[in-house]
């Protein structure tokens, strides 16, 4: 069992993607990242992030796949995953493979999300 970090609490410390791995206990792939300070963690990353890419959790991180920013600093129309409900509460929304939410508005410092939905077959 691999312990996956859903918090992205290492702010302002760049990390390099070392591996992309299949985890039989999850629906999506996970990645081992190595932070510049030497710490290593497993995290969820989108499919477009590859080995050797650098990711960053920061309020000023560039808007690109794998980076983490506060929702009120993400452009409207962006797709997001691994979303926290409360700051530093750990991701609760859009964590499974192929799942995402869309930022549809920023109002009063809050982000409005179009939530993922289930497609049920009859």
9/17 Cα distance (integer angstroms): 17
61-89 per-position pLDDT tens digit:
999 999 999 988 999 999 998 898 888 88
Q: What is the pLDDT of residue 103?
A: 94
Q: What is the pLDDT of residue 85?
A: 87
1-26 per-position pLDDT tens digit:
789 888 888 999 999 999 999 888 88
Global confidence as pTM: 0.82
Q: Which residues contact 51 (CB under 8 A, 6 or more apart)?
A: 17, 18, 19, 20
84/67 Cα distance (integer angstroms): 14
| Sheet-wide strand order for 101-107 | 79-80, 101-107, 110-114
66/21 Cα distance (integer angstroms): 16
Radius of gyration of the chain (CA): 14
3-state secondary structure of 71: helix
């Amino acid at each position: 069992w691999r312990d996956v970090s859903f918090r992205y609490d290492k702010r302002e410390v760049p990390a390099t993607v070392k591996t992309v791995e299949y985890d039989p206990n999850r629906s999506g792939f996970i990645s081992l990242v190595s932070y510049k300070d030497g710490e290593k963690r497993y995290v969820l990353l989108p499919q477009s992030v590859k080995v050797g890419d650098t990711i960053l959790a920061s309020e000023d991180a560039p808007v690109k796949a794998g980076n983490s920013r506060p929702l009120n600093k993400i452009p409207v129309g962006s797709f997001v995953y691994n979303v926290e409900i409360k700051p530093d509460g750990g991701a609760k929304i859009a964590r499974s493979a192929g799942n995402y939410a869309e930022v549809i508005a920023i109002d009063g410092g809050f982000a409005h999300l179009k939530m993922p939905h289930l497609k049920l077959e009859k």
